[in-house]
A = this chain, B = another copy of it.
């Protein structure tokens, strides 16, 4: 594999440390408790969408990309234990297209 797959928490932690910021500094900027931010970075807790956007802004990460990471990671965890995970994603794609067309 030519790229390193990072979880969204990894991305945040790496960027924060690159910037030499402390947990509590970033936590203050995005108005979230340090304990929660710590858990988000280590994947122990899910972030909320708003938090991801605020973190992206504070760390100058690409918002759109982070949103994709956020949504896709949530979905991945929903189906990681399903042996039909790949089929589920294919069908989901069809359903998105179909429901959009017919809404």
Contact = CB atoms under 8 A, between A and B. Distances in A.
Interface of A: 5, 7, 64, 67-69, 71-80, 82, 84-96, 98-100
A87 B75 CA distance: 12
A71 B78 CA distance: 8
A44 to B, nearest CB: 15
Contact of A93 (B71, B86, B98, B99): B86
B67 A84 contact: yes
A93 to B, nearest CB: 5
A88 B71 contact: yes
B67 A74 contact: no
Contacts of A99: 76-77, 80
